[in-house]
Chains A and B, each alone.
Chain A
Amino acid sequence: MNIVVAMKQVPDLQQVRIRNREPVFTDVPLVLGNIDKNALEAAVAIKESGDANVIALSAGNEDVEDTIKEALAAGADEAFLVLDDKLNGAESGVVAQVLAAAVKKIDDVGLILFGEGSGDNYSGQVGSRVAELLGLPQVAYASALELKGDKALVTRSLEDCTEIVEVTLPAVVTVLSDINEARIPSVTQILKAGKKPKEVLELDEVGVKIPPAASVVTVSNLAPETERKRIVVKSVAELIQSLTTEGVIGR
């Protein structure tokens, strides 16, 4: 059985700086989304306890070919990439179509795993969209996942309850970061990653056209204005004094 893990290349948010309220991406390294790594780990855990082949699937610009090595080092057996500069910053609906079309080209897919939200946009739509496009059942927000024959037992963690559901494979599951701790690959694994098989397709080859008009338009994307005093206090006594003056304690 193949387990496909959809992974998104995102800028390393810890290195994005804000200048004049605008995010600055120059020289920010590209990485895979954090929760996507938990999805990969979940797939690799299944592989290690049974029999499965893990395929890291990603759609994006040419840089993905390099970024995806992280996934190959962390346990994916192969990569399936749809690369096109037109996919730079593509919207959820388009990416879902590309991923769904790619999955159709892979045989014997039992599970398609996603992180619950991408590292940069965190809108959590793509997993659900892909499930619908492929006509597959889905369970999102998984905090546990176990395979049982042709079914998966998934714990879906909601705000006020958890549900244990049994879903017939093939299925789409999106995972929470607390499902596991993603492994950090060793140097040897990183070196070997470059030799693992990679299938690279272009947008035309999966038959998806980018629509001329965007369905979501961004008017602005600015850091909120924050003015903080940044006063360094030397002691608890000094802190309590200041907070009393502010009128926020001892009311």
Chain B
Amino acid sequence: MATFMIYSSKEKQALELITAAKSVGAAAVKAVCINDEAQANALAAAGAEVLLINNDAISLADVAAVASALGQVAAQLGADTILLSSDRRGKEAAGRLAAILDAGCLTDISAIKANGDKIECQRNALGGATVATQYIASDKKIIAIRPKTFDAPGAGSGSVNAMTVDVKASAVKLIETKTRGGDSVDIEAAEALVVVGQGLNSKDDLPAVEALAKKLGGEVACSKPVATDKKWLSEERIVGLSGKKCKPELAIILGISGQVQFTVGIRDAKVIVAVNSDENATINGMADYILTADMHDVIKEMNSSL
């Protein structure tokens, strides 16, 4: 029987990992918390056997220290199956911990299933063109699971115990943390999405896009370059491989070419509409309704008809 250990810097995701471990048959779940007593208590209240490390020498900004601490706890516990959250911090730690433990490692996992003594994992491959089912065959396994893949577990009675680890002097110094300008939108929860891409002429066209989303009872989302290159919308609104995976009832996709790293984030929508000025745009191949037109005209007309 595998010995499971979980870790995430975020409480919500750590809770999800408890459910994940149980879904593949973990009888007991050991959880590591680093300098976060509140998280330790929350995980214990959800049934985890928490090992709490309080050590000022470990900064989350220094992933070498975090991975080293996790490696030491894993060794002490004899943990062989380690679940991490596949957010950026989790992914950064995953590779490092994998090298420490000489473990096989899979990241960005969107589903796990026990099959005999194997844990079969699903992840997007080839930019999202395919979904690969893989398992780790080495003794030590590290699986980083996408946030929101599992729900939080119900209440349980766990425990919190202190754990000490040794860490080396850090070569990484945190100078400043800036919180992101609060866009708290949750495009994954929206029933309808109006998704705009680089076909959008300017930032000044956004109010009309927002008006349309509102009329449809949904949210505005975008392709990656609209957020990361043009910075017209927040990164919270990116659909795709490095953004969110959405399954709205309706997705109206305007001015987006339809490269696979984008489409992987929207292909589970129930109804897809593609509006593109190019009648041969790749996105048309995955749409239910195809309208070849200038997206700005379409937005205007939809706003006045709805």
Contact = CB atoms under 8 A, between A and B. Distances in A.
B228 A178 contact: yes
Interface string B112-150: 000000001001111101111111111000000000000
B250 A249 contact: yes
B69 interface: no
A106 interface: no
A123 interface: yes
Contacts of B123: 123
A128 B96 contact: yes
Contacts of A23: 126, 129-130
Interface stretch (B40-48, B169-177, B198-206): B169-177
A249 B236 CA distance: 25
A178 B217 CA distance: 31
A163 B61 contact: yes
A132 B125 contact: no
B291 A236 contact: yes
A223 B99 contact: no
B136 A216 contact: yes
B130 A223 contact: yes
Contacts of B179: 160-161
A231 B305 CA distance: 21
Nearest to B87: A159
B290 interface: yes
B250 A138 contact: no
Contacts of A178: 228-229
A66 to B, nearest CB: 22
B296 interface: no
B172 A167 contact: yes
A140 B175 contact: no
A215 B103 contact: yes
A216 B134 CA distance: 7
B286 interface: yes
B2 interface: no
B50 interface: no
B173 A166 contact: yes
A236 B305 contact: yes
Interface in A106-131: 117, 119-131
A153 B201 CA distance: 35
A164 interface: yes
Contact of B241 (A122, A125, A168): A122
Contacts of B103: 215
Given A16-B126, A129-B98, A160-B179, A139 B172 contact: yes
Q: Which of A140, A161, A236 has the most CB of B within 10 A?
A: A236
A162 interface: yes
B301 A226 contact: no
B258 to A, nearest CB: 11
B131 to A, nearest CB: 6
B132 A243 contact: no
Contacts of A219: 120, 133-135
Contact of A248 (B106, B172, B271, B284): B271
B105 interface: yes
A251 B137 contact: no
B56 interface: no
B6 interface: no
Contacts of A124: 91-92, 94-95, 107-108
A233 B279 CA distance: 12
B287 A230 contact: yes
A117 B144 CA distance: 15
Given A158-B89, A177-B228, A236-B305, A218 B132 contact: yes
B171 A167 contact: yes
A179 B28 CA distance: 43
B113 to A, nearest CB: 11
A201 B161 CA distance: 50
Given A92-B95, A126-B95, A128-B99, A229 B130 contact: no
A164 B176 contact: yes
Contact of B290 (A136, A159, A232): A232
A208 to B, nearest CB: 14
A29 interface: no
28 contacts: A16-B126, A92-B95, A96-B99, A117-B242, A128-B93, A132-B64, A140-B88, A157-B88, A158-B88, A159-B87, A159-B88, A162-B177, A162-B180, A163-B174, A164-B175, A165-B172, A168-B172, A177-B224, A177-B228, A216-B106, A217-B137, A218-B134, A219-B120, A219-B135, A228-B285, A229-B288, A236-B298, A246-B271
Closest 4 CB pairs of A and B: A128-B95, A215-B104, A125-B95, A132-B99
